[in-house]
Chain A
Amino acid sequence: MNRVLRKRLLRDLKSNFLRYLALVILIVMGMYVVVSVVGAADTIIAGSTDKAEKNHVEDGQFAVFFPLTDAQERKLTDAGILLERMFSLDLEAEDDSIVRVMKSRENINLIDLDEGHPAENSGEIVLEKRYCEEHGLKTGGSITISGLEFKIVGIGSTPDYDMPVRRFSDMAVESSRFGTGFVTEKQYEEIQKTMPSRAEDYCYAYRLIDSGMTDNEVKQMVREYGLDHALTSFVKKADNPRILAAAGDMQINREAGLFAGVIVMVLFTYVISVFVIHQIQQESSVIGTLYALGAKKRDLLLHYITLPTILVFIGGVAGALLGFSKTGIPTQMADSYRYCSIPTLDVRYSVYLIVYSIVMPPAVSAVVNYLVINRRLSRTALSLIRNEQSVKEFPRTEESQGKRFFSRIVCAAAGGMTGSVRRSSKSPKLHFIRLFQLRQMMRERRAGLTVVCGMIIALLVLMLGLNCYVLCRNVQKDSINSTKFEYMYSLKYPEKDIPEGGEACYAETLSRTSMGYTINVSVIGIRKDNPYYDTEPAKGINSIIISKSVQQKYGLHTGDQLILKDSAEDIDYAFTVEGICDYAGGLAVFMDIDSMRELFGREEDYYNMLLSDQELTIDESRIYNITTKEDIARSASIFTSLMMSLIIMMTVSAVFIFCMVLYLMMGVMIDRASFGISLVRVFGFRTGEIKKLYLDGNAWIVAAGAIIGIPLAKVIMDALYPWMIANAAVGMNLVFPWYLYAEIFAGVMAVYFVINALLVRKLNRITPAEVLKNRE
């Protein structure tokens, strides 16, 4: 039987071509986004991990105040580990950006060249690719760094600067301000000699290779060999925010993409099922007759599920093909290439994703349609032949109202014109319209519910984008507002006497692991009456005041305990939160400086950070780096510009989903009401009046849906956001200004009114003759 019924499928498709086309486009777009996002995530995760391994990424690194002696180095390598110096000098380019110059690597963190060759002679340099992109530098060109001119012989990336930030604690990558460069060993030594005042960073990278050792054992060795006093940091690969950062970002994209794909597909297939139900209702007597003739529910169920499943399958495959094409995965990877410094990767076609994109959509469609249609086909043959409606379809209130409606029409007809209705007193007419709209809403509650669900999904997508926007803007605003100093000097060798005009502070970088990511938190020791931070921590080696960013990021409150880890020393510090201050310039907590010196075993007058509202005169060799207020403002603004394409994509996608669902569902409402609409046309109702009766009631559904959906979507997205950006070292200020809620609501209603106006054409196509057609 189904072989014959299958012939209907193409005819159904032809007669509802535009509707199905719209749905298929929706599915194609949905799958395109999912496949391209997840495929990009897979490519970056697997590709950058493979590349990192290929380029001998370090297992960890440690930095010391003074370089190890050859004997000390040998002790480590004799234990079986591979060790390589990663010494560096931060030098200024002509535009004041910083190039961290290192010697070419031999065994660890090798350079992956996109073009050119390694530096072989003095005067040659290989530059990090993101820095080159930001500065328009090409192989064969030149760059002047600290007065020395270098020929650029290669452009590439290294696995230890996958996220090319200057400091581990930097909030964001700023490749216009920082990059890395690799020169020959001889050249590096020459630079050292010509610039002795420059503070050099003595960092060592190691690989455990076949030593059988663990990271902690390496750390222990470094200590045992008497190096612990000079040890300034010890960072395992897993805790290093620069390594595999792009892959870390993508982990969330992959999981969220796969989950969102199922949700979106459930919505779209539910939309299709509404059409199928409409078709079943129209064909009720035919189905009943086929039952009477011995057809089984299974056969018909299969028949009605076939078309949506095929369409979803086609949409899924087309979306997947598009997603796997050049416009898909590579496009989605562009953001990572724009932010991180990763080698050019070959697109991965994961088998599971191919199966997911081909199998999941039709499977979801079959299940959703089965669940929805099965009940409709479970009625008896007789009930179907008579096209009996369930009592639930006609709530009691409308029944009586329906009688009043018809009596009113009869009265109007008796008066010879519907004008008598229009001229009747306003309030009863309004009352009637409202009740009729209510009846229509009750009848179309399935479509109404789909509109609301579609709206909530669209709002979730919108909130994802808006939260991103608001977070970026708040980070920018809060960073600027919280920074009261003009200059911040991080010192390697502080002078005994505090330079005039400087405010001495003591800063340590500890870390906290949360949601699978280790994020650095600055512990800042300040004195009472510090002019640059609006807080006065009480004395006590366990007492801290946390910044608003830390409070938002980790959801802490006064009285809570915060455990921070010193990875280098492998010590956990347990602090009690004594208060929360307004500072939101980064993840920082504050201590009384004396208590902090005591806690970390420093001298009574020790400091390593100077804050000032004017430039200070400090010997260059004593400085690690200088951060100005302008640097912080610029760095904070990067987020907004980086995320803008994502924000726009999310907003457009949300509007598109909402428009399509609303248009399709309101369209099906008109189709289902075509007999009634035709009937009231016979009675003399005008299009405007019919629109009021059959369409305008949806405004209440949309308005109510928006009133519930907007805060709901906000609450859900706010709850998910910490998980989504668990690897970002920023606070979580997601507070919207009130007018943004009002704007979203206005936007939703504006979309509704546009769709409503578009559907008037469809309403006009229903003629009084429909009544006659339906008589049979």
Chain B
Amino acid sequence: MYLEVKDVKKSYGKDDSYIQVLKGISTEVKQGQMCVIQGTSGSGKSTLLNCIGGLDNMDSGSVKVDGQEISGLRPAKLADYRRDHLGFIFQFYNLVPNLTVRENIQVCEYLSKQPLDMTELLETLGLAEHQNKFPSQLSGGQQQRCAIARALIKNPKLLLCDEPTGALDSGTSRDILILLEEINQKYGTTMLIVTHNNAIKDMVHKVLVVKDGLITKEYENHTRVPAAELEDL
């Protein structure tokens, strides 16, 4: 298994404000799989993603990525872990405003020892003609493509996406999902996608449904619907 999550628990606050967000989550994702984590607001899906990404500390449990245990790692080691293994995509693209598209991607290119080819990536993501534009000159979809390119340039084995289409219209959302699908096929990138969007579940290999801090449903799609054919996005 590429990703192994065992009995992960996470809580916030103390006394009256104490809340347990993750109550013991266990799951596995194979290398190259696309996996969707679904759930309502406050169900704990983003917290789970953050724990896997080493952005948040878990109270207990274990997360192994490619055999490496990440719970208990010091901040510097966690930074190395993220640098070597992960790509992140957020709902709001978080691009550096006064760097061009190409420069935004280059920021992360330097973090990797074996980055992907920049030109090829720009072509793949349809950003070649926008590479010298600043984020403010791009549409939402183009900005998200840039954020994806920035995450992918490091050639990460695991791509964590937090509501990647949350801020986009349905047409643009479809384009982004097609892109993610292509990347998965082309580079074999394992993907964890947190989303509210119910339609996405049909295009991925595996679906996790989180409710009240627990996985209430977990299954694999034997037949997947290509992103281009998804309905009700």
Given A4-B110, A11-B98, A286-B94, residue A292 in contact with residue B103 (CB < 8 A)? no
Q: Give residues 81-105 of B contacting A (CB, 8 Å).
A: 81-84, 86-88, 90, 92, 94-99, 103
Identity of the chain B residue whose Cβ is nearest the Cβ of A282 in the assembled complex: B97
Identity of the chain B residue whose Cβ is nearest the Cβ of A7 in the assembled complex: B103
A380 at the interface (CB under 8 A from B): yes
Q: Which residues of A contact B111 (CB under 8 A)?
A: 1, 293-295
Identity of the chain B residue whose Cβ is nearest the Cβ of A1 in the assembled complex: B110
Proximity bits, A385-401, B CB within 8 Å = 1, else 0: 10000000000000000
Identity of the chain A residue whose Cβ is nearest the Cβ of B96 in the assembled complex: A286
Number of residues in A with C-beta < 8 Å to the partner? Answer: 26
How far apart are the CA atoms of A293 and B88 in the complex, in Å? 6
B94 touches A385 (CB 8 A): yes
Given A382-B50, A382-B56, residue A293 in contact with residue B108 (CB < 8 A)? yes
Q: Which residues of A contact B81 (CB under 8 A)?
A: 294
Contact of B79 among A1, A8, A294, A382 (CB under 8 A): A294
How far apart are the CA atoms of A289 and B92 in the complex, in Å? 10
Proximity bits, A255-291, B CB within 8 Å = 1, else 0: 0000000000000000000000000000101101111
Q: Give residues 135-194 of B contacting A (CB, 8 Å).
A: 150-151, 154, 167
A293 touches B103 (CB 8 A): no
B103 touches A380 (CB 8 A): no
A294 touches B98 (CB 8 A): no
B87 touches A4 (CB 8 A): no
How far apart are the CA atoms of A15 and B87 in the complex, in Å? 31
How far apart are the CA atoms of A294 and B151 in the complex, in Å? 10
B44 at the interface (CB under 8 A from A): no
A381 at the interface (CB under 8 A from B): yes
Q: Give residues 1-46 of A contacting B (CB, 8 Å).
A: 1, 3-5, 7-8, 11-12, 15
A385 touches B87 (CB 8 A): no
Given A4-B99, A293-B151, residue A385 in contact with residue B90 (CB < 8 A)? yes
B55 touches A380 (CB 8 A): yes
A776 at the interface (CB under 8 A from B): yes
A293 touches B96 (CB 8 A): no
Given A289-B88, A294-B80, A296-B79, residue A382 in contact with residue B96 (CB < 8 A)? no
Q: Which residues of A contact B11 (CB under 8 A)?
A: none
Contact of A289 among B76, B94, B97 (CB under 8 A): B94
Identity of the chain B residue whose Cβ is nearest the Cβ of A295 in the assembled complex: B111
How far apart are the CA atoms of A293 and B76 in the complex, in Å? 13
B106 at the interface (CB under 8 A from A): yes
How far apart are the CA atoms of A690 and B94 in the complex, in Å? 30
B228 at the interface (CB under 8 A from A): no
Proximity bits, A666-698, B CB within 8 Å = 1, else 0: 000000000000000000000000000000000
B199 at the interface (CB under 8 A from A): no
B84 touches A776 (CB 8 A): no
CB distance from B111 to the nearest CB of A (A): 5
A8 touches B98 (CB 8 A): yes
CB distance from A769 to the nearest CB of B (A): 13
B53 at the interface (CB under 8 A from A): yes
B107 at the interface (CB under 8 A from A): yes
Q: Which residues of A contact B109 (CB under 8 A)?
A: 4
CB distance from B94 to the nearest CB of A (A): 4
CB distance from A304 to the nearest CB of B (A): 12
Q: Which residues of B contact A4 (CB under 8 A)?
A: 99, 103, 106-107, 109-110
Please report the number of residue pairs spanning A and B whose Cβ atoms sit closer than 8 angstroms.
Answer: 83
Identity of the chain A residue whose Cβ is nearest the Cβ of B84 in the assembled complex: A294
B95 touches A382 (CB 8 A): no
Q: Which residues of B contact A1 (CB under 8 A)?
A: 107-108, 110-111
Q: Which residues of B contact A292 (CB under 8 A)?
A: 53, 55, 82, 86, 88
How far apart are the CA atoms of A295 and B151 in the complex, in Å? 12
CB distance from B75 to the nearest CB of A (A): 8
How far apart are the CA atoms of A295 and B78 in the complex, in Å? 11
CB distance from A391 to the nearest CB of B (A): 13
Q: Which residues of A contact B82 (CB under 8 A)?
A: 291-294
B98 touches A293 (CB 8 A): no
CB distance from A4 to the nearest CB of B (A): 4
How far apart are the CA atoms of A767 and B94 in the complex, in Å? 24
CB distance from B190 to the nearest CB of A (A): 16
Among the interface residues A8, A285, A291, A293, which one has the most CB atoms of the partner chain B within 10 A?
A293
Identity of the chain A residue whose Cβ is nearest the Cβ of B90 in the assembled complex: A289
Q: Which residues of B contact A290 (CB under 8 A)?
A: 107-108
Q: Which residues of A contact B56 (CB under 8 A)?
A: 380, 382
Q: Which residues of A contact B76 (CB under 8 A)?
A: 296
How far apart are the CA atoms of A295 and B108 in the complex, in Å? 8
Given A289-B88, A382-B50, A385-B90, residue A294 in contact with residue B95 (CB < 8 A)? no
Q: Which residues of B contact A296 (CB under 8 A)?
A: 76, 79, 83
A5 touches B94 (CB 8 A): no
Q: Which residues of A contact B90 (CB under 8 A)?
A: 285, 289, 385
Identity of the chain A residue whose Cβ is nearest the Cβ of B85 in the assembled complex: A294
How far apart are the CA atoms of A294 and B53 in the complex, in Å? 10
Q: Which residues of B contact A382 (CB under 8 A)?
A: 50, 55-56
How far apart are the CA atoms of A536 and B56 in the complex, in Å? 85
B55 touches A381 (CB 8 A): yes
CB distance from B208 to the nearest CB of A (A): 21
How far apart are the CA atoms of A283 and B107 in the complex, in Å? 15
A291 touches B94 (CB 8 A): no
CB distance from B109 to the nearest CB of A (A): 8
Q: Which residues of A contact B55 (CB under 8 A)?
A: 292, 380-382, 385
B154 touches A294 (CB 8 A): yes
CB distance from A378 to the nearest CB of B (A): 9
A15 touches B98 (CB 8 A): yes
How far apart are the CA atoms of A622 and B64 in the complex, in Å? 107
Proximity bits, B14-43, A CB within 8 Å = 1, else 0: 000000000000000000000000000000
Contact of A8 among B50, B80, B86, B96 (CB under 8 A): B96
Q: Which residues of B contact A283 (CB under 8 A)?
A: 96-97
Q: Give residues 142-185 of A contacting B (CB, 8 Å).
A: none
A293 touches B92 (CB 8 A): no
Identity of the chain B residue whose Cβ is nearest the Cβ of A14 in the assembled complex: B98
Among the interface residues A5, A15, A292, which one has the most CB atoms of the partner chain B within 10 A?
A292
Given A292-B53, A293-B82, A294-B80, residue A285 in contact with residue B94 (CB < 8 A)? yes
Q: Which residues of A contact B98 (CB under 8 A)?
A: 8, 11-12, 15
How far apart are the CA atoms of A381 and B56 in the complex, in Å? 8
Among the interface residues A8, A294, A380, which one has the most CB atoms of the partner chain B within 10 A?
A294
Residues of B at under 8 Å CB distance from A? 50, 53, 55-56, 76, 79-84, 86-88, 90, 92, 94-99, 103, 106-111, 150-151, 154, 167
- Known pairs A1-B111, A295-B108. 12 more at Cβ < 8 A? A7-B103, A285-B92, A286-B95, A290-B107, A292-B82, A292-B88, A293-B82, A294-B82, A294-B111, A295-B83, A295-B111, A382-B56
A-B contact pairs, 24 of them (CB 8 A): A1-B110, A4-B103, A4-B109, A5-B96, A11-B98, A283-B96, A285-B92, A285-B94, A286-B95, A290-B108, A292-B55, A293-B88, A293-B108, A294-B79, A294-B80, A294-B86, A295-B83, A296-B79, A380-B55, A380-B56, A382-B50, A382-B56, A385-B55, A776-B92
Top 4 closest pairs, chain A to chain B, by CB: A294-B83, A289-B94, A294-B82, A1-B110
